[in-house]
Chain A
Amino acid sequence: GAVVSQHPSRVICKSGTSVKIECRSLDFQATTMFWYRQFPKQSLMLMATSNEGSKATYEQGVEKDKFLINHASLTLSTLTVTSAHPEDSSFYICSARRGMLSSYNEQFFGPGTRLTVL
């Protein structure tokens, strides 16, 4: 159990276009989902935390108008990179947690999405 999927796994787009990445919890309800960004040979950097039905909380330095997050259901969160530029090229990973407070606060991670902006 506790499987998280992401779609697409890889996307290449032209500069200026918008890209939507989906994150789904397949076999559990995820009240809270997280979006991370990872540069080559670096660790994961938290971008934002989203709770179902409410606005996402963005980390300092992350532009909320640039990275739109929607968590409209208990199994789906989306990240839209608007007007993407080459510096947005990165590996984006989502994770999901059962409930706002789970007994273990354990997060389950998706397989990641490789975004390349030309």
Chain B
Amino acid sequence: KQEVTQIPAALSVPEGENLVLNCSFTDSAIYNLQWFRQDPGKGLTSLLLIQSSQREQTSGRLNASLDKSSGRSTLYIAASQPGDSATYLCAATNSGYSTLTFGKGTMLLVSP
């Protein structure tokens, strides 16, 4: 059974810092891995999806990497802004038919 862990649970940084959020998974036979953002009381916004055959994906200031052999994914946020404050969730799926397994998230606070 796939298990997803996110470290740290919470992170506070000053504006402008580059930061890395970590996600680890127990079953390396993943189909893909997604990173989401959730604002308080809101639904999930998909940020990046990495297929199992890919090593990384980039969107603007965000870069997500995937290392299946070590069971890890990282989300890199460059030049953080207060608007980046949110909870970031990673989720893995093990096949095209399977459901998402979520981590508990990292709550990010970027202070001005």
Contact = CB atoms under 8 A, between A and B. Distances in A.
B43 interface: yes
Interface stretch (A42-50, A66-74, A76-84): A42-50
A64 interface: no
A110 B43 contact: yes
B42 interface: yes
Given A42-B104, A43-B104, A106 B43 contact: no
A94 to B, nearest CB: 9
Interface in A92-118: 93, 95, 100-112, 114
Interface residues of B, number: 24
Interface string A22-42: 000000000000100000001
Contact of B43 (A43, A46, A100, A111): A111
A43 B97 contact: no
A109 B44 contact: yes
A116 B42 CA distance: 15
B49 A104 contact: yes
B42 to A, nearest CB: 6
A6 interface: yes
**Interface size grouping (class) on chain A:** 20 to 34
Given A104-B49, A105-B96, A43 B103 contact: yes
Interface in B81-112: 89, 93, 95-100, 102-105
Q: Which 7 pairs, one residue from A and one from B, show the smallest C-beta to C-beta distance?
A: A109-B44, A111-B43, A101-B96, A112-B43, A43-B104, A43-B102, A109-B43
